[in-house]
Amino acid sequence: MVIRRSAAGILIGISFLWIAQKATQGEEKTAIHQCDTRPNIVFIMSDDHACNAISTYGGRLAGTAPTPNIDRIAASGIRLDRCFVTNSICTPSRAVILSGQHSHKNGVKTLVDAFPGPDSGTPNVASILQRSGYQTALIGKWHLRSAPWGFDYWKIGPGQGKYHDPFFIASTDEIPYTTKVRGLGRTKGYYTDLVTDYATEWLDQRDTSKPFFLMLHHKAPHGKWEPAKRHQDYLKDISIPEPDSLWEDFSHRSPATIDKGTSITNRLKDRRSMVGDVQKPNWYGGPVEMAGMNEKEKGQAAYQKYLHQYLACVKAVDENVGRVLDYLDTNGLKENTLVIYTSDQGMFLGEHDYFDKRWIYEECFKMPFVASLPNRIKPGTADQQHLCSNLDFAQTILDYAQITEAPEISQMQGLSLKPILEGTPPNSWRDAVYYRYWMHLAHHQIPGHYGVRDSRYKLVFFHGLPLDAKLGAGVFPPSTAGWEFYDLQQDPNETNNVYEKTEYASEIRRMKQRLLDLKIEYDDRDDQYPELLKLRNQLWDDSSNE
Taking each helix axis from N to C end, the angle separating 90-99 and 393-400, rounded to the nearest 10 degrees, works out to 30
pLDDT at residue 287 in the model:
63
- Are 515 and 378 found together in one domain? no
Ranking 214-223, 446-455, 488-497, 531-540 by mean pLDDT, the lowest is 531-540
Q: Does 466 have pLDDT greater than 50?
A: yes
pLDDT at residue 26 in the model:
36
- Are 70 and 155 found together in one domain? yes
Q: Does 21 have pLDDT greater than 90?
A: no
The verdict on residue 302 lying in a domain is no
The verdict on residue 289 lying in a domain is no
- Are 213 and 332 found together in one domain? yes
Please give the average per-residue pLDDT across 250-275, as a whole number: 79
- Are 539 and 497 found together in one domain? yes
pLDDT at residue 177 in the model:
85
The verdict on residue 455 lying in a domain is yes
Q: Does 233 have pLDDT greater than 60?
A: yes
Q: Residue 390: give its domain's CATH number.
A: 3.40.720.10
3-state secondary structure of 532: helix
Q: With contact defined as beta carbons under 8 Å apart, do 411 and 101 qualify? A: yes
pLDDT at residue 9 in the model:
42
Q: Does 520 have pLDDT greater than 50?
A: yes
Mean pLDDT (the chain, rounded): 89
- Are 535 and 401 found together in one domain? no
Please give the average per-residue pLDDT across 199-218, as a whole number: 97
147, 114, 96, 83: which is closest to 382 by C-alpha? 83
Q: What is the pLDDT of residues 304-335, one digit of tens each?
A: 999 999 999 999 999 999 999 999 999 999 99
Q: Residue 532: give its domain's CATH number.
A: 3.30.1120.10
Q: With contact defined as beta carbons under 8 Å apart, do 349 and 50 qualify? A: yes
Choose one of 381, 401, 422: the last residue of a domain. 422
- Are 59 and 199 found together in one domain? yes
Q: Is the dihedral of CA 217, 221, 226, 231 positive or negative?
A: positive
Q: What is the pLDDT of residues 136-165, one digit of tens each?
A: 999 999 999 899 999 999 999 988 899 999
Task: Select the more confidently predicted residue: 63 or 293.
Answer: 63
Contacts of residue 350, defined as CB under 8 A and 6 or more positions apart, other chains included, come to 242, 243, 246, 264, 303, 306, 307
Please give the average per-residue pLDDT across 419-446, as a whole number: 95
pLDDT at residue 284 in the model:
52
The verdict on residue 23 lying in a domain is no
- Are 465 and 405 found together in one domain? no
Task: Select the more confidently predicted residue: 405 or 322.
Answer: 322
Please give the average per-residue pLDDT across 54-71, as a whole number: 98
214, 76, 69, 196: which is closest to 135 by C-alpha? 214
pLDDT at residue 285 in the model:
55
Please give the average per-residue pLDDT across 499-520, as a whole number: 97
C-alpha of 312 from chain center: 20
Please give the average per-residue pLDDT across 98-122, as a whole number: 95
pLDDT at residue 33 in the model:
38
Choose one of 394, 422, 450: the last residue of a domain. 422
pLDDT at residue 296 in the model:
86
Choose one of 422, 447, 476: the last residue of a domain. 422
The verdict on residue 190 lying in a domain is yes
Contacts of residue 224, defined as CB under 8 A and 6 or more positions apart, other chains included, come to 281, 282, 283, 284, 285
- Are 367 and 454 found together in one domain? no
**DSSP notation for 278-320:** TTS--TTSS----TT--HHHHHHHHHHHHHHHHHHHHHHHHHH
The verdict on residue 90 lying in a domain is yes
d(CA 119, CA 65): 45
Task: Select the more confidently predicted residue: 118 or 8.
Answer: 118
Number of domains in the chain: 2
Q: Pairing relation of β-strands 482-487 and 457-462?
A: antiparallel
- Going by pLDDT thresholds of 50, 70 and 90, the confidence category of residue 265 is confident
Rg, the chain, Cα only = 26
The verdict on residue 382 lying in a domain is yes
pLDDT at residue 31 in the model:
32
Q: Pairing relation of β-strands 449-454 and 337-343?
A: unpaired
d(CA 68, CA 56): 8
Q: Does 438 have pLDDT greater than 70?
A: yes
122, 126, 128, 93: which is closest to 391 by C-alpha? 93
pLDDT at residue 286 in the model:
59
- Are 194 and 331 found together in one domain? yes
- Are 392 and 371 found together in one domain? yes
pLDDT at residue 272 in the model:
56
Domain that holds residue 522: 434-545
- Are 439 and 385 found together in one domain? no
The verdict on residue 1 lying in a domain is no
Q: What is the DSSP letter of 261?
A: S
Q: Does 546 have pLDDT greater than 80?
A: no
Q: Looking at the whole model, is its pTM more than 0.85?
A: yes
- Are 517 and 410 found together in one domain? no
d(CA 493, CA 457): 12
pLDDT at residue 2 in the model:
35
